[in-house]
Structure 1
Amino acid sequence: DVKRVLAMIDEQGFYLQIPPRPDEIMQELRNKNTLM
């Protein structure tokens, strides 16, 4: 769920200011997965 993803990102403190578009969310998640 997008809300769930936003909540996860919010927990990390990445996108507290403005929620990104779904495209940017997927990009960020891929970047996180790469870092992990």
Structure 2
Amino acid sequence: MKEQLQSIADEALSMLEKVQDMKSLEEIRVTFLGKKG
């Protein structure tokens, strides 16, 4: 379980490093938190 959480966190951080505009940031937010998150 701990490894899964770390994997998700690593993936999120990797995606966040590539953000270049608000649209891509919003897409990442929806991917990890959902539309209502």
Please, what TM-score do these two structures have when normalized by structure 2? Answer: 0.38
Please, what TM-score do these two structures have when normalized by structure 1? Answer: 0.39
Structure 1 or 2, whichever has the larger Rg, is 2
Q: Which has the higher contact order (CA 8 A, sep 6+)?
A: 1
Higher fraction of helix: 2
